[in-house]
Amino acid sequence: MPVLSCSGPRCKGLCFCCHLGLGKITENAKKSLASLKRENPRLEPTLAIIQAHNDHLIQEINKNFAKEVGLRVIHICLPEGSSKDEIVNEILRLNEDPNVQGLALDLPESLYSSKVLNAVKPEKDVDGLSDVNLGRLVRGDACDCLVPPTACAVMELLEDLGGKTVLLVGAGGAVGAALQCMLQREGAATLSCRWKAPQLQTKLHHADVVVVGSTKPDDVPASWIKPGTTIISCSPDLLSEKHNYGQQNNHAAENAVGSLAIAMRMQNMVKNTERWIKSQQYRKWDLRCLKLQPLSPVPSDIEISRAQSPKAVDVLAKEIGLLTDEIEIYGQTKAKVRLSLLERLKDQPDGKYVLVAGITPTPLGEGKSTVTIGLVQALTAHLNINSFACLRQPSQGPTFGVKGGAAGGGYAQVIPMEEFNLHLTGDIHAITAANNLLAAAIDARILHENTQSDKALYNRLVPVVNGVREFSAIQLARLRRLGINKTDPGTLTEEEISKFARLDIDPSTITWQRVVDTNDRFLRKITVGQANTEKGFVRQAQFDIAVASEIMAILALTTSLQDMKERLGKMVVANDKKGKPVTAEDLSDIEERSSGPKLAHNENKM
């Protein structure tokens, strides 16, 4: 019996597989993907293949087919002997990678367990082996599932199955189940058998088509197969050209399945990419709105909040189309949305922005927040329009003062109310710490400049670390602003050292105040520097409310981490004695070093 195989894109159309449509499948997938790329120029569909063996031939053929179609394929080559848990961990990582649209497995047979197969997200399962995809196939939802490529390849090789008997030998698991389902729909009578089954010889003798799912044992003679039987091999060695059943009059399609299956995998990947594009487009949310049960008389805000069971935030994120890696969860009911979402949705049309402003609250508390929440409830829960409410996080000053919370009121409020009003995700506390760190740096710098020589200051600002003295990136930027174009700390003149080391802050011009997120009226004016360790440096200062910090404004306006760093560095905190502005960047020219002297005057004192 001739051994018939195909080398994929390198084939010239002369082999059995190509006559059966391999070239057509590849060309159709290529055209479909090219069309998708024209409509989405930045599209780079990526197929990740997890491999836990050293078969470089399969890897090469996958790459060749992917290149021919126009797909990007990456192989994750795990060492032989990798455990199921190690494979599952890799699958879970790729599940959450937004740059990977499809995931396939090339593993030893022993690793194809339900645990491994079902770890793959159904929407990324290009091999169609998860229970979700198989269940859809069995139910007849062909448009909503991806069929296993091996099963598709077998069906591509077979024709006129009506009334024929097809025997599946050694073909179990997900692929065997998919094959039985598809064969029966084509009118074939299907039988399944193990190689060691006592009735194997009888079943082989009556079969019109034999689909081999695993390597034939040597103790099963080829004479058991009746003349004229079509044999299709789907065994793991399907690309190794080692099978020969020895009967010249059998219609063989051995080894053809391997290349066809890989071509079908790429075709599935193109279908998956099309689905992925549709999933990124604007659509109505699959949102399950919480039901309200208004009471009369209306209870207090806190009673209303506690009476409602909030939806888990990860469930909400899924309902509105956020990916798992696009949210950072804080407990059960809070999460931050990552800026990567903006990149993913940059091609989406903008929505409409409704500003609720300038409302004087009524005696019952109906103000901007209550109207905003009520408006979103009406738009989303009643009119089925995608909408968000965007509220500022409440400051604890007004919360602990007369005003109270800022979560809305009555049945139009944010829940859980206590978490929203008191802490949320801790941003205000982080802003408070950053603001007060800068305030402490200002006073510490004035103290050190008043009590140390130029040389002492310079040695602390640019210390010798591991025998090397060098400027940091921030210090080099400061030197350029001062007009000193030198990069070697040892080459500065005394005048340049003094100019670099001293900010000469005028205490009367300091505009950067300390902040606290509590309405403590007795901190509105304070005197700092009264401890003996401050060497008589005393000045008047004050505390502002934390949300009045310029850092809060920057956090609201920033577009990226780098943009935030640049904005923070440009903040003006005072003037020097010549009237020139001093910025936060001027005060941040001490990098944290692994060794060397510290600039702090007394590390044991606050």
Q: Which of 359, 387, 412 is the last residue of a domain?
A: 412
Predicted confidence (pLDDT) at residue 422 exceeds the cutoff of 70: yes
* pLDDT at residue 572 tops 90: yes
The Cα–Cα gap between 113 and 173 comes to 9
What percentage of the chain has pLDDT greater than the value 90?
Answer: 14
**Ranges assigned E (strand) in 431-558:** 464-465, 468-469, 514-516, 526-528, 539-541, 543-545
Query: Is there a single domain that holds both residue 43 and residue 140?
Result: yes
Range of the domain at 372: 301-412
Q: Are residues 223 and 253 in the same domain?
A: yes
In a domain, 331, yes or no: yes
For residue 62 the two structure tokens come to 């996958």
In this prediction, residue 436 carries a pLDDT of: 94
Judgement on whether residues 148 and 233 belong to the same structural domain of the protein = yes
Residue 487 lies in a domain: yes
What number is the average pLDDT over the span 1-20? Answer: 39
> pLDDT tens digits for 341-379?
887 787 778 889 999 887 787 776 678 888 899 999 999
pLDDT at position 513 is: 94
386 shares a domain with 444: no
Contact by Cβ (8 Å): 101, 46: yes
Same domain, 186 and 50: yes
Torsion of CA 246, 248, 252, 255, to 10 degrees: 50
pLDDT (tens digit per residue) in 466-479: 888 888 888 888 88
Q: Which of 6-15, 103-112, 212-221 has the lowest mean pLDDT?
A: 6-15
In a domain, 417, yes or no: no
What tens digit of pLDDT does each residue of 493-512 get?
Answer: 989 998 898 899 999 999 99
Residues 439 and 362 occupy one common structural domain: no
- The rounded mean pLDDT for the chain is 81
**pLDDT band for position 255 (cuts 50, 70, 90):** very low
Instruction: For residue 482, give the CATH number of its domain.
Output: 3.30.1510.10
Let me know if residue 602 belongs to a domain: no
Do 336 and 225 lie in one domain? The reply is no
Is the domain of 132 the same as that of 242? yes
Residue 438: predicted pLDDT? 93
Type of residue at 492: L
Q: Residue 412 burial (CB < 10 Å; 0-12/13-18/19+)?
A: buried
Single residue among 381, 412, 443 that ends a domain in this structure: 412
In which residue are the tokens 């991806």 written? 146
Provide the number of structural domains found in the chain. Answer: 3
CATH of the domain at 14: 3.40.50.10860
Together in a domain, 44 and 150:
yes
Q: From start to end of 388-513, where are the E strands?
A: 408-409, 412-413, 464-465, 468-469
Clarify whether residues 400 and 439 are in a common domain.
Answer: no
Asked if residue 347 is part of any domain, the answer here is: yes
What confidence score (pLDDT) does residue 535 get? Answer: 80
The rounded Cα 325 to chain-centroid distance in angstroms is 3
Same structural domain, 438 and 332: no
Whether residue 597 lies inside any domain: the answer is: no
Q: Residue 596: inside a domain, yes or no?
A: no
CA 522 to chain centre: 47
The CATH code of the domain that includes 319 is 3.40.50.300
Please check whether residues 69 and 120 belong to one and the same domain: yes
CA distance 267 to 29: 5
Q: Is residue 421 part of a domain?
A: no
Burial 548-574 (b: 16+ CB within 10 A, else e): ebbbbebbeebeeeeeeeebbeebebb
Identify whether the C-beta of residue 155 lies closer than 8 Å to the C-beta of residue 182.
yes
Nearest CA among 89, 117, 85, 86 for reference residue 104: 117
Checking if the pLDDT of 440 tops 80, the result is yes
Question: Pick from 346, 380, 412: which residue ends a domain?
Answer: 412
